Amino acid sequence: MKFDDPFELFLEWFEEAKRNEPMDPEAMALATTDARGAPNIRMVLMKEVDTNGFVFYTNAESTKGQELSTNPKAALCFNWRSIRRQVRVRGIVEVVTSEEADTRFASRSRDSKIGAWASKQSRPLENRKVLETAVAEAETRYLDEVPRPPYWSGYRIQPLEIEFWQNRPSRLHERMQYRREQLNQPWKKTLLYP
């Protein structure tokens, strides 16, 4: 793999995935850990990527938000079956700025904004009617502009490690790992056995 900067390679692969992946090329598995160190994984959508990291947005009071507050480290995995490639990421997590969260929230559909107010994400729900009532109340409360809830924000995974996996015949896959010990250090590139 010709790139010294993993973000350049990621963007090239992501563009190819956007052309070929039939659904949600920005979908990524997000792994976090709880206070006891037990892992948790779920799918989220990457909303931004640049040399500072990979960004997604959610309710900070959700399970993932609480886990990231307790242990601000995470792992990601993109799996693009259509192009037979994966990208794995491990790194440090930071909360995006209020301005970034405001901008992203403003870009959402009205229904998604109302849903952010109505849903107590990850907490027990007595029945669907309770959620529907909360949606109706939020729609009545916000007839015009829907502001960003104070608990809705974004997280940036700042990578210390990015691995690129390319399917090859006979399970002799190609793996390239980029690592750095700290965020301000240069990347070290290593070819790995499949």
Per-residue pLDDT tens over the stretch 46-69: 999 999 999 999 999 999 999 999
Per-residue pLDDT tens over the stretch 120-153: 999 999 999 999 999 999 999 999 999 999 999 9
Beta-carbon contacts of 132 under 8 Å, excluding residues fewer than 6 positions away, are: none
Structure tokens at 31: 């792994």
Point out the catalytic residue in the list 171, 175, 179, 180: 171
HSE value, Cβ hemisphere, 13 Å, CA-based, for 134: 16
- Report the C-alpha gap between 26 and 54 in whole angstroms: 10
* 3-state secondary structure (DSSP) of residue 116: helix
Domains of the chain: 6-106+150-192 (2.30.110.10)
Is residue 141 among the annotated active site residues? no
